[in-house]
């Protein structure tokens, strides 16, 4: 399935131009799609469509569009977070500078709409509009906490941000688009199920960012701390930390990434590991995953292709319990 999607994108994007500068733009547009991401969301979309009796030819353009969405958003996210690496290679703006990378993200963005438009699947255009709007809202919430140095946040704040920023496009959108591609109205229970599953995946990702194996994880360990990202682990720990620890932490977090010292980050990592907050976050992730899987199992029980439905459940379970 990954090859199908990758080939679709490869044929879609412009490849060569006589003017070397424009050729260079095309190379930048193809960079992230060629880095071989996991394509989880787009594969999920294809599987859901298949489970509900849809054809690959209907679902494939939407899967490719979702993959293009993921890629242009990542180019812009990496600028916004000033991330170092993406899929084990320096982020696009670190290779070519912010101006060219930002513009290449915009150029990629319009190919997403081209595919959605050409697919002509009833309701899919509105689904993409809604998904991107929510993602931008979640991204704004997350970034504004970083920009304005906001740490006075509750678990509910974090979950609302993650629902908007990640959960919708990671689970809700693939399920809804998959059903649309199969010519069906999306099941209303997808929303609640997807938000829980998406939150579970994100919390697990946050934990792996702290304790994962760098060789497996593909991003920098503790990158979220360097970028000042709010996570459930940190918000929980802030409720337990001593005033001195909290002071040190908040001071380090006011610094720009380059000025954060390795020993400070290591010290904070140590505190987090001793505090039990990582285990707490994992417990919440497990609960969200269990509830989400139960709901999505109900949705999938109505699918005619039960073999594919089982594969989807297995995939979602793996994601919810992944250790790398």
- The span from the first CA to the last CA of the chain, in angstroms, equals 22
By the rule CB under 8 A, 255 interacts with a second copy: no
By the rule CB under 8 A, 264 interacts with a second copy: no
| Cα distances (angstroms) measured from residue 200 to each of 32, 182, 205, 285 | 26, 27, 9, 4
The separation between CA 197 and the C-alpha centre of its own chain, rounded to angstroms, equals 12
Q: Which residues contact 101 (CB under 8 A, 6 or more apart)?
A: 28, 75, 78, 79, 91, 92, 93, 95
By the rule CB under 8 A, 24 interacts with a second copy: yes
By the rule CB under 8 A, 104 interacts with a second copy: yes
Give the pair of three-digit tokens for residue 187: 């099941």
> How much of the chain is in helix, strand and coil states, percent to nearest 5?
75, 0, 20
- Span of 140-148, 194-202, 215-223, 259-267 interacting with a second copy by CB under 8 A: 140-148
By the rule CB under 8 A, 122 interacts with a second copy: no
Smallest distance from a second copy to CB 19, Å:
7
Smallest distance from a second copy to CB 281, Å:
22
By the rule CB under 8 A, 257 interacts with a second copy: no
Cα separation, 252 vs 110, whole angstroms: 39
Smallest distance from a second copy to CB 97, Å:
5
According to DSSP, the residues that pair with 90 across neighbouring strands are 85
Per-residue contact string for residues 144-173; x = within reach of a second copy by CB under 8 A = xxxx------------x-------------
# chain residues binding a second copy, by CB under 8 A = 41
By the rule CB under 8 A, 247 interacts with a second copy: no
In the range 177-236, which residues lie near a second copy by CB under 8 A? none
- Taking the least distance from each CB to a second copy, the nearer of 243 and 256 is 256
| Cα distances (angstroms) measured from residue 48 to each of 9, 190, 211 | 20, 12, 32
DSSP secondary structure letter of residue 255: S
Smallest distance from a second copy to CB 276, Å:
29
By the rule CB under 8 A, 132 interacts with a second copy: yes
- Taking the least distance from each CB to a second copy, the nearer of 2 and 94 is 94
Q: Give the up-direction half-sphere exposure of residue 24: CA atoms within 13 A in the CB hemisphere.
A: 9
Q: Which residues contribute to the site for a second copy (CB under 8 A)?
A: 19, 21-22, 24-25, 28, 73, 76, 79-81, 96-100, 102-104, 106-107, 109-110, 113-114, 117, 125, 129, 132-133, 136-137, 139-141, 143-147, 160
């Amino acid at each position: 399935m990954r090859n199908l999607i990758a080939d679709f994108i490869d044929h879609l994007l412009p490849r060569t131009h006589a003017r070397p500068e424009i050729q260079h733009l095309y190379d930048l547009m193809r960079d992230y799609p060629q880095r071989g991401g996991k394509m989880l969301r787009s594969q999920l979309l294809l599987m859901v469509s298949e489970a509900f009796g849809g054809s690959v030819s209907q679902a494939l353009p939407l899967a490719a569009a979702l993959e293009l969405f993921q890629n242009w958003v990542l180019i812009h996210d990496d600028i916004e977070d000033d991330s170092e690496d993406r899929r084990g290679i320096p982020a696009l703006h670190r290779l070519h500078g912010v101006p060219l990378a930002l513009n290449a993200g915009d150029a990629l963005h319009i190919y997403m709409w081209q595919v959605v438009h050409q697919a002509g699947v009833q309701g899919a255009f509105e689904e993409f509009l809604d998904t991107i709007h929510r993602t931008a809202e979640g991204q704004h919430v997350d970034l504004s906490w970083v920009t304005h140095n906001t740490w006075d946040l509750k678990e509910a704040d974090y979950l609302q941000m993650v629902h908007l920023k990640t959960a919708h496009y990671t689970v809700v959108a693939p399920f809804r688009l998959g059903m649309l591609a199969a010519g069906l109205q999306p099941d209303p229970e997808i929303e609640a199920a997807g938000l829980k599953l998406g939150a579970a995946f994100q919390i697990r990702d946050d934990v792996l960012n702290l304790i994962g194996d760098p060789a497996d994880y593909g991003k920098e360990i503790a990158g979220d701390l360097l970028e000042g990202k709010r996570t459930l682990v940190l918000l929980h720990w802030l409720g337990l930390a001593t005033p001195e620890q909290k002071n040190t932490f908040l001071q380090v977090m006011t610094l720009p990434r380059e000025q954060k010292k390795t020993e400070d980050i290591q010290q904070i990592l140590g505190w987090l590991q001793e505090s039990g907050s990582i285990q707490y976050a994992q417990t919440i992730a497990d609960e969200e995953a269990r509830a989400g899987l139960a709901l999505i199992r109900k949705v999938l029980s109505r699918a005619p292709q039960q073999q594919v439905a089982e594969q989807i459940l297995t995939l979602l379970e793996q994601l919810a319990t992944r250790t790398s």
